[in-house]
Structure 1
Amino acid sequence: MYDKLIKLTPEKNVMVNEPLKNHTYTHLGGEADFLVTPETYEQVQEIVKLANKEAIAFTLLGNGSNLIVKDGGIRGIVMNLQKLTSIKTDEEIVVAQSGARIIDVSREALRVKLAGLEFACGIPGSVGGALFMNAGAYGGEIKDVLVRTKVVDREGVLLDLTADQLDLEYRKSNIPEKGYIVLEATFSLQTAEYGAIKAIMDDLTYKRESKQPLEYPSCGSVFKRPPGYFAGKLIQDSALQGQEIGGAQVSLKHAGFIINKNGASAKEYIALIHHVQDTVKGKFGVNLEREVKIIGED
């Protein structure tokens, strides 16, 4: 398989038995059989077609921000789009490739005096990941600004879709069920004063840095907001802050975060997620639904 992959993308873009903890925000995860980092849309298409032809397992990693990879790693081909990072602007339109950080897209929008992506200035994920889960914060979400996207489907076919074709809802899209690989996103923004945009971004950055445990590895906010409640408040009121399983801990700074405090395994991290869910369910009768995705083998 290695020989076939390096015919489709340069050798430097193919890693064998690569530890995925080196590529996830939680610093968790076993090895990928093959980790590939294509540089062009055509390479993405050809690698998907190869996986289909060889009937080998295929997994899209994204940038590993809202993700837990289990300790056994992932078999087959794992694709990371970290080399697709172009961000271009044209009047009130911003086109960003999927491997670009959504934070960087918001900063580029600020530079050219475009408003609408301020909410994304603290979201750690990639553009592709942001579309995958219709990422949002502080009252804004991707759905508000996305107009088009280019994706590759399960067969390796390049598609140009409108935002409406992604069925974007709260922290949800049809991208996972359709098996799409996002290649780029087109955002429609509005011209505004640089100072006004920056003031909003500075305020949101302060709120994030003062309230979130950014000094530790984590997957970000673990749970979706349950209707009528705040996940962090429920966890806090369940006296779970500071609870630990192995090297994983419910953050003392923000109850909605679970941090990798001291070399946690994925098994420990996931066990703590389940403990939080069970405790909140027992105390308040509320089901906390995971926002973070868990993949890989035990």
Structure 2
Amino acid sequence: MSAEQVHRTRHEIEVGAPADVVYGIISDAVAWPLYFPPNVHVQRLESDGRRERLRMWATANDRITSWTSRRELDPEARRIEFRQERSAAPVTSMGGTWIVEPRDAQRSRLALLHDFTVRDDAADDVAWVERATDTNSRAELGSLKELAERWTRLSGHVLSFEDSVRVDGPAEKVYEFLYRVRDWPDLVPHVSRLEVTEDEPGVQTMSMDTRTADGSAHTTTSVRVCFPDAGRIVYKQTSAPALMSAHTGEWRVVADASGVTVTSRHDVILREENIRRVLGENAGVADAHRYVREALGRNSTVTLNLAKAYAEK
């Protein structure tokens, strides 16, 4: 622990769900980008089931930050200890604990504890970290409560799918097309406007206007994390269309002996309360599944085929 003053925070929430359900959500960190608003991407670097090492990207006070953490999981006690081994400025150290306590068979209490230090204990930096920790903790706990309390029917609202195209061209050219997202308004028919910033290499924040086949327009904002050596671009929509409460995805480029496969993956949680407003009074969850699958899959397949044409020129 650093010599600077250690600052501590505690956030708690009552959850109308069994403690094991709550613990299960917080233990599956790789799924957090779909579950928790601040989290953009989580990469599991090491794991033996009890101890794991994670690389994490998240928003903090409208800034994208990244760090590496170690976690120790104790499912019997329903506790998870975490400690950042490499923090993002102005943080010099950060750690804490998730604690799940059963109230009865159907209710539990979740506490999230943090401790942190900042360089020279600068007052402005302490305030910045406290604000980010408070905002993100409240968002995570609120989202977790919502998810846990509808856990028994949540699987019906989660949609995951992939579309793939084979390419007879270099993987580098495919990746280049997908990475150069600022050029998409001139290259991708369903993209009418796109603004992108890349303050840190490989981390892109973008705002995009798209059109669907029925003529409707959507504005979304996203964060993309690019891994050129692995041929991957992962993203999270930080503002999604009305039918989705969460949307994450991935572009994946894989070369083999006979060519290249480029794949688009989508993971979505439907916003149940908006289904009838968007699709009509008689629409249900199955209609929303079909609509989202067709709309996202159609646009992704167009982009995949354009990447194919670009690489095969």
Q: Give the structure with the larger strand fraction.
A: 2
Shared fold (TM-score, shorter chain, > 0.5)? no
Larger Rg: 2
